[in-house]
Amino acid sequence: MDIGCGDGFFALPAAKLVGEEGRVYGLDIDKEAIGRLKEKASRKGFGNLRLKVGAAEETVFCEACADVVFFGIVLHDFSDASRVLLNAKRMLRQMGRLVDLDWKNESMELGPPLRMRFGEEQAVSLIEAAGFKVETVKEAGPYHYLIIARP
């Protein structure tokens, strides 16, 4: 599950990774971004993407069906991140993983304004409050951090 998938920066490599037998579900509120992702997937011959336009706060693709729910630099963007995380927990299998890649809470020229960012501590707190057990928190290059958690 790529929640907040945009036009496929992470969803397309995931579709290649899981192969024809796997499925990648992508969700974004931006209809045009989903349209661009559909076009890219078609050009690349990926028939394993299932895409939906909608709000992450309102969408649960399935119950206990996902191996991974991924947030690629978007968790800070949702109007209700807590609700989005609860939906993620509903979609994950018992041994599945939640993966959150996001901007460090540091002043830099790239990314959203500092006031919009979740630092690692805030993201961990939100993830744990949704019922996850955080396994790792690590740097993911100079601008981002990565959190991996299980239900």
In contact, 59 and 84? CB cutoff 8 Å: no
* Model confidence pLDDT, tens digit, residues 3-30: 999 999 999 999 999 999 999 999 999 9
Does 43 share its domain with 78?
A: no
In sequence order, the β-bridge partners of residue 133 are 150
* Model confidence pLDDT, tens digit, residues 67-112: 999 999 999 999 999 999 999 999 999 999 999 999 999 989 999 8
Residue 97 burial (CB count, 10 A): 17
Question: For the chain, what is the mean pLDDT?
Answer: 96
The range of the structural domain enclosing residue 44 comes to: 1-54
Does 87 share its domain with 125?
A: yes
Provide DSSP, 31-69.
Answer: HHHHHHHHHHHHHHT---EEEEES-GGG----SS-EEEE
Does 83 share its domain with 149?
A: yes
User: Residue 134 belongs to a domain with what CATH number?
Assistant: 3.40.50.150
Does 84 share its domain with 41?
A: no
What is the mean predicted confidence (pLDDT) over 115-130?
A: 94
Does 117 share its domain with 148?
A: yes
Does 44 share its domain with 96?
A: no
